Structure 1
Amino acid sequence: MKYSGHFIFALSTIIIVNKIYFFNNFCKIIFFKSILGCIFTCFLPDLDHPNSIIGKKLKYISILFYKLFGHRGFTHSILSIIIFYYILNLIILLNIKISNYLIYFMTIGYTSHIIADMFTYQGVPLLWPLKWKFSFFLFKKKYIYKEEKICFLFFIFSIIYYYL
């Protein structure tokens, strides 16, 4: 999936999460932070792909991850989500000022990337190091534009759901 699909899917996900968990205590600052935190991390799983947006920014780390795990390996697994969450919590323990809410939003952004990749025909190895790939099998072949259409439809749904 392309970065635009991940961006739209992450934005849609955080809109729905805000509706479900913060509807009674709606605060524009929390909503803005949630979007920033989610969008900031929704590209991180592609750190294992040297030609991705984040891979180009962090070239040497990306090449290392690619050589160790390949694309859509460890960084697209449940284990990586858990480790990412604990790294963010470790940052709090080091007294770096970051709110608990922001950690949740950043973890949601990271996770949204993996879920979005499950809509592709390649799937993701959720149980890495096992090689099993999990996918929703919506398409048998690579149809990038259809994947992005699903993300766009999810975005439309999230906006409608938010205002109901």
Structure 2
Amino acid sequence: MTGEGHIIFAIASAIFAKRAELTPVLAQADWWHLVPSALLTCLLPDIDHPKSLLGQRLRWLSHPIARAFGHRGFTHSLLAVAAGLWLFQINLPQSSPIPADVLQGLTLGYLSHIVADMLTPAGVPLLWPCRWRFRLPILRSQKGNQLERALCLGLVGYALWFPVGMPSFGANGWPAQLFDTLQNGVGRLISSHSAQ
């Protein structure tokens, strides 16, 4: 997927997550926290590709990551998401924490990239280092792909149309419980590591 597609997909994901109230934090999130934070990380997984939009600007970081993991390796896995959550929580001083809606927006932007890449024929290795690729190949990776743009803009339209707080997705639904469980698990891991 192109950088443009990832940006539009991240916007659609942020709008949908807030309107669907995927978590209690996202239900109450400030739009000015949620959308920019999702946009900050929506291109980050492609840091492993030196010719990507972000890789061209951060070559000093992109080349070593590409050599170590290859394109669509570690950075496109759930392990990378967990590592990112851990880094955000371990390096924050208690006096100035990042607001919860910003942290969930950053995570949402990163996850939106991974989900969007699952729509391409190459797929993503969600369970890296296992090499299994997860994919639903409805998009072809061509520059200027009109289908990609139409799909992503259609998702923005759907997210804007989506009724606020649908019962199956509400703040007490399974997505909220899954997201909160992951966040609490990372928090407990950090606490136990800090205590030692």
TM-score range, shorter chain: 0.7 to 0.9
Cα distance in 1 for partners of 2:3, 2:163 equals: 24
Which residue is 1:18 aligned to?
Answer: 18
CA gap of 1:96–1:63, structure 2 versus 1, over 3 A, is farther
Bigger radius of gyration, 1 or 2?
Answer: 2
8 Å CA contact 1:15–1:162 kept in 2: the answer is no
Cα distance in 2 for partners of 1:83, 1:7 equals: 22
8 Å CA contact 2:19–2:159 kept in 1: the answer is no
Structure 2 unaligned regions, length at least 5 = 166-196
8 Å CA contact 1:38–1:109 kept in 2: the answer is yes
Cα distance in 1 for partners of 2:141, 2:97 equals: 43
- Within a 5 Å distance, the mapping from 1:116-155 to structure 2 comes to 116-139=116-139, 141-143=140-142, 144-155=145-156
Cα distance in 2 for partners of 1:104, 1:94 equals: 18
Amino acid at match of 2:87: I
Verify: 1:56 aligned to 2:95, yes or no. Answer: no
Moved more, 51-60 or 79-88: 51-60
8 Å CA contact 1:119–1:147 kept in 2: the answer is no
Cα distance in 2 for partners of 1:71, 1:94 equals: 36
Which residue is 2:160 aligned to?
Answer: 159
8 Å CA contact 1:14–1:34 kept in 2: the answer is yes
Percent identity of equivalent pairs: 32
CA gap of 1:82–1:26, structure 2 versus 1, over 3 A, is closer
Moved more, 97-106 or 87-96: 87-96
Which residue is 1:110 aligned to?
Answer: 110
8 Å CA contact 2:49–2:66 kept in 1: the answer is yes
Amino acid at match of 1:41: T
- Within a 5 Å distance, the mapping from 1:30-49 to structure 2 comes to 30-49=30-49
The alignment of Structure 1 onto Structure 2 pairs a total of residues equal to: 160
